[in-house]
Structure 1
Amino acid sequence: MRTARSYNLQILAAECLAVAIGLLFLTPFYFVVINSLKSFGDLLTDSAGWPRSWHPGNYARAWELLRFPRVFGNSLIITVIANAGLVVISAMAAHRIVRRSTRFNKMVFGLFVASMIIPFQSIMIPLVKVVSTLGIQNSYVGIIICYFGFGAMMSVFLYHGYIKSIPAEIEESAVVDGCSAYGVFWRIVFPLLKPMTVTVLLLNSLWIWNDFLLPLLILNSPGLRTIPLAASSFFAQYTKQWDLGLASLVLGFIPIILFFLSMQKHIIEGITAGSVKG
């Protein structure tokens, strides 16, 4: 009886600690949302307190000044196409590396893993020169190709671990039944990759949707600006419109949070399954 009570108290303490840590991580969201509903003067005098008067009109003004439907469409196009390409390229590459375990494929996988430690800031200037030389700067094509390059390393790594947990006998049976190599992948393997595919989509969506530096380097035209780029216009060198800027940030992260909450249950399933070596 004493052991059960001690165990329950330990669980309660762990739950309280987890709730406290969760609230700590939610603190920035509180500041952003609450201050986006304040007047500019109220925001400067009391940024942590509850609004003295509510200003939902900040969202209407931010929507209009950002031309939000346009920048939302740009972010959506880039995120969807880049994600689709990353899933196809990374899944097929990881499958080939796992099922054809040659020395060359092992070296290629090692290069994928090693490239994950290279900081983006060290290659961004050569990247801009290459993109400019190829004539794809300031275009959807240019930035999507860049996302293919920078996102493939992590995606291949995740798919690689998951595919190793899939028995090779399933594919061998399909080959015996007359299925082609592409048929084996698309009809047999790819449907089994659903948990990891959802994980890759979520992680890459969070990165691409919120990315600021790469669009800043590649997209120079105002008509191609993504949500983070457009929101940065409220924080200029001499003028900072915090009320409108914070409202624009809320407008920007609401879609990606809704997407994350609707699909996040697959993340743990995909990562835990991919950690098991088959």
Structure 2
Amino acid sequence: MSKRVRNWSLGIVGLVLGLLWLFPFYLILTNSFKTPKGIFSSVINLPLHGTLANYTQAFQALDFIRSLFHSLLITVVSVALICIASAMAAYAIQRNHSKVSNVILMLFVAAMLIPFQSVMIPLTTIFGKAQMLNIPGLVLMYLGFGTSLSIFLYQGAVAGIPEALDEAATLEGAGFGRIFFTIILPMLNPMTVTVAILNIVWIWNDYLLPSLVLPQNSYTIPLQTFFFFGQFTKQWNLALAGLMFGILPVIVFYFFAQRWIIKGVTAGSVK
């Protein structure tokens, strides 16, 4: 098989797989503009008489602005804390050449193997007694669950930074904080992007932990979408419009950040 034929074959296979992957999204998008009668008459066809009334009702019933604010607040604060805390911990572990540091790193790695379901009930019980079943408590939980993998990734990246840079900065009178924030952290930008992407995807789409922690007035988009979809299951036009509101922020985020996402994932894989 020639190279040209092989490339064409791979292109056709990729196109078919892409269309199959996009087909559910096509169904959600097209049917979200239809009336109930239009959906039951034909699910696959394009809407003949499209309407935006579905989105207006879904926007109000979903309380989209509030739930979007909660999702953004929780995700941004959690990811920022995870990145800073994990980078500092990884730097301290990597630069402290002792058996204790190796043990601490192994403990963080082992913590990744603990399933959330095994600590779910004790965790919520403890936080409930401390009256922390709210957004700050959820951020603290994400910080605890997200640092293990993040420290492991950062540790490998820090290992690739020569210690001579630290020594030269120390001779110039720089302390730990200045060395880390002005020299080490900027050099960890590719890994920071990778860690941020992994945690953004996890935290933004998480349903189980917020459902156990957050009160109703602090629901995130996945929680609001779940209860909204359950309420309007028989009204598919409204339910699908609500799902589009849940999907839309992720799509917008990807289009604006795709350059950094691809660059960060590629750099992270090399590390």
TM-score by length of 2: 0.90
Identity of aligned residues (%): 41
- CA distance change for structure 1 residues 119 and 95 in 2, over 3 Å: closer, same or farther? same
> In the alignment, does 2:81 pair up with 1:85?
yes
Q: For 1:165-202, what per-residue CA distance to the aligned partner results, in whole angstroms no more than 9, with x for missing partners?
A: 22222222211211111111000011111112122222
1:33 corresponds, among 18, 29, 32, to: 29
Corresponding residue SS for 2:83? helix
Within 5 Å, give how 1:126-275 maps onto structure 2.
126-137=122-133, 139-220=134-215, 222-236=216-230, 239-275=233-269
**Which deviates the most, 232-241 or 112-121?**
232-241
Structure 1 pair 124–44 and aligned structure 2 pair: CA distance change class (3 A):
farther
Describe the superposition over 1:87-134 as per-residue Cα deviations: whole angstroms up to 9, x where unpaired: 111111111122223222222222222222333223222221121122
Change (3 A) 1:45 1:97: farther
Inter-partner Cα distance in structure 2 for 1:237 and 1:62: 11
Question: Which string of whole-angstrom CA distances, capped at 9 and with x for unpartnered residues, describes residues 58-84 of structure 1?
Answer: 111111112211111111111111111
CA RMSD of aligned residues (A): 2.2
- Mapped partners of 1:16, 1:101: distance in 2: 53
Runs of at least 5 residues in structure 1 that lack an aligned partner in the other structure: none
Distance (Å, rounded) in 1 between the aligned partners of 2:122 and 2:43: 41
Residue-pair matches, total:
271
CA distance in 1 between counterparts of 2:166 and 2:258 reads 29
Once the two structures are superposed, residues 204-233 of structure 1 have per-residue CA deviations (whole angstroms, 9 ceiling, x without a partner) of 11221121111110012x221111111122
In 1, distance between residues paired with 2:226 and 2:210? Answer: 12
Q: What 5-or-longer segments of structure 2 have no aligned partner?
A: none
Q: What amino acid is the match of 1:245?
A: A
Per the alignment, in what secondary structure is the counterpart of residue 230 of structure 2? coil
Contact 1:195-1:267 within 8 A present in 2 as well: no
